[in-house]
Amino acid sequence: METNLIWDKITKNMKKHSITKSEDKMTSKKKGVIGILTGGGDVPGLNPAIRAVTIRALREGYQVVGFRRGWGGLVDVIREKDADNSNNYQLLTEEIVNRAGRTGGTFLHSSRTNPSKVKKGDVPLHLRDKYTEERNDLTPEVLKNLAFLGVDYLIPIGGDDTLSYGVRLYKEGFKVVAIPKTMDNDVPGTDYCIGFSTCVTRTISLTNSLRTIAGSHERFMVLEVFGRYAGFTAMLPTMAGAANRCVIPEYKFNIDHLTEVMVKDRNANPSHYSVMLISEGAMYEGGEMVFKDGTTDAYGHAKLGGIGDLVSAQIKDRSAKYNNGKTVDVINQKLGYMVRGGDPDAIDSIVPMAFGNLALDLVLSGIHGRLVVLKNGRYDNMPLDIITSTKKIVDVNRFYDTDRYRPKYENFEMKPLFIMTSEL
């Protein structure tokens, strides 16, 4: 088994570019190889996290390999010394990560690949003779690929789906330190996930841009935002004043009562409009989630979409009942990918830097099986399996007014920066 493949490639690269002895000093004290990947949906803040891990690791004497397309790159590796795996991983340098470190998205790319449930048609060509089931567990190949590349530690950056597979690898005996990322802010164990602040910032900005249209035409405005199981991305912008009401996955709403309060908001507004944010996973009383089509991702989640359309049509149809017989038109917009695009805001530039260095602190101390977190305003770490042992959702009793369909504005003392979190 070729356990020094990464180191061999680094040595060849040094010779190719005529690196001098003085430039080689840091490389000569090699301690090991750290792998890093980004999985799931992209968010602003991923590249700063990659940069933080890489620069610190290189200066501490480690080499860093970035896997492309999340777990996908690790699944697709061909274990042959001269195989072209450039589409599966790349060696990271300060120059590479500095170039991307201030930008949004992830230059390593991403996917929703789940190596423990790979569809038959997605099994890499070189493994199809071996794995022939409709769903295949390629974890043995992932472990062999990590050993083949000589990776000592793995730092996955992702949400609960991506990191749940990190838990699996840890339980298989591999050294994993995880960094939480998701604009839904729903990874258990941490008050904050990379991408959430920028998402809230974008949502507020886009809502304020669109309200001029709603006001000009005296309409309802219904904006659908991400949030399959957790309503944080609807709650925080509403709490900040971007919307009058919000409906969230944690509480099933009554469409007639929702229409009634929207009409009251509109009539109380001098410009005669009202705004509502609705999570994509929100549900009617007696109803279920609204799905876009019959397809699922690699983690088995059906694709959501359409609750904003349905609610818009329903409140328009019911509006006359609460508005002296006059129908109110609706502006309906899905904010979607607009809130996850572009450069990170200040918080999503600072937190990834800290998370990356926290991860390296653990590696340097020989500690693994941990999730780096922000808890009660302090950086810390938690056991990795917290990701699969619980769920992080809005505590409706504490934070949501179920009669008014909006956040509660009370008892802020000693709450974390973004107010709502799970108590663990």
| Marked catalytic residue, from 184, 191, 265, 348 | 184
CA 333 vs CA 5, 162, 221, 277: distances in Å:
50, 29, 8, 10
Cβ neighbours, 10 Å, residue 365: 8
What distance in Å separates the CA atoms of residue 108 and residue 85, rounded to the nearest whole number?
Answer: 14
Residue for token digits 């450069």? 343
d(CA 159, CA 180): 6
176 secondary structure, DSSP code? B
8 Å CB contact between 249 and 279: yes
The residue whose two tokens read 């940069």 is 51
Closest CA to 423 of 189, 163, 164: 189
Q: At what angle do helices 46-59 and 347-364 cross, to 10 degrees?
A: 30
Locate tokens 């060849």: which residue? 12
**DSSP character for 111?**
-
C-beta separation of 38 from 73 below 8 A: no
- The helix-helix angle for 139-149 and 5-16 (nearest 10°) equals 40
The amino acid occupying position 357 is N
Q: Is position 345 annotated as part of the catalytic site?
A: no
Cβ pair 34, 363 in contact under 8 A: yes
Catalytic residues: 184
